[in-house]
Amino acid sequence: MDRQVVISFCARVVREPLVHFVCLGALLFGINAFTRPVAAPPAATSIVITDDDLRQLAGLWQIQWGRAPTPDELRRLVDGQVREEVLIREALAAGLERQDILVRRRLAALAAAEAEAGPPPKPSEDALRALYEASPGSFAVPAELTMTQLYFSDRARNGQAKEEAIQARDALSGRDVSDPAVGNLGDPSEFPVRLQDQTPDELAALFGQPFAAAATRLPVGSWQGPVPSLGGWHLVFIEAATPGPPPAFETVREAVEASWQQAESDAQQRQAYAAMRARYTVVLPSSLEGSAP
């Protein structure tokens, strides 16, 4: 080909707008590829089961079945732990915790527990006596209790009875024993669901001393628990409590101290929440304008 013809052809190509566009695009693509940071490979995810985990799983099995697990049983427990962890992580990755009201309440409860500033200081003897003398009758052990209980079996629920009882308690918040939802909760057992005018000794004969001791300290009119018994846990609704005679201070000193500690803990929680609440601005709908959040 004649050199003059080649030169003429190249000159026409250089003047062609489409060629300018293609070259400019290639240049921009090259610059972008050169300057764009290399994406880091996704972080490896791992589920680590430690020797402490194994001891905890084996200990729970020992409590439930009265013996140590066999190697095959321990492996199944580990598989169950891994499966639970996988499902939890997948649920969190999908944001499912924001869609379940029970999960939200449990997360809120955990956050409140984390916010506590630690154990309250030791009360003085004068502080305890002042608390007792303000209301000695409030420390009396009920002479009789009328109550409804729901039983959650460790065996029937594969060792998850306490956790599932907590979920049921949260679901029953604000409901009384007549609510239809109550009949759908709990496991069949030999325990009577409703007990009327039971003394602490009678409750101890049915459910064990730890249950009876806990039941006498529960408030009236709300679902409480879980309360332990042999082989499971109970949600308890105290319908009525007939108070016994006011006890001497020395016989209820531990209960008075526990009440003082609870009051201090409640005050710490209120202070911790106030500090957290101050970090947020709450925007209310116009229909609630002027209402305190």
Per-residue pLDDT of the chain (293 residues; tens, 9 = 90+): 454 444 444 445 445 544 443 444 444 344 344 444 444 433 447 888 888 888 898 888 888 888 899 988 888 888 888 888 888 888 888 887 787 877 787 778 777 777 765 666 789 999 999 999 999 988 888 899 999 999 999 999 988 999 999 999 998 988 989 988 888 899 999 999 999 999 999 999 999 999 999 999 899 999 999 999 988 999 999 999 998 888 899 998 998 999 999 888 888 888 888 888 888 887 767 766 555 55
> What's the pLDDT score for residue 28?
39
Assigned CATH topology for domain 141-244: Chitinase A; domain 3 (3.10.50)
Find the helix packing angle between 161-171 and 101-114, rounded to 10°.
Answer: 110
Q: Partners of 242 in the beta sheet?
A: 144
What's phi and psi for 174, nearest 5 deg? 85, 0
| Residue listed under structure tokens 């201070």 | 249
φ/ψ of 106, rounded to 5, equals -65, -40
Of 240, 63, 67, nearest to 148 (Cα)? 240
Query: Which pTM was predicted?
Result: 0.48
User: In the chain, what are the helix, strand and coil shares in percent, each to the nearest 5?
Assistant: 55, 15, 30
Query: Number of helices (H) and strands (E), helices first, in the chain?
Result: 10, 4
Residue 148 · residue 264 · CB < 8 Å: no
Contact 152, 161 (CB under 8 A): yes
Instruction: Return d(Cα 141, Cα 247) in angstroms, integer.
Output: 8
Rounded Cα gap, residues 229 and 233, in angstroms:
6
Confidence (pLDDT) at 22: 40
Quote the pLDDT of residue 43: 43
Give the span between the Cα atoms of 188 and 150, in whole angstroms: 9
Structure confidence at residue 225 (pLDDT): 92
Q: Where are the domains of the chain?
A: 3-35, 52-99, 124-139+247-293, 141-244
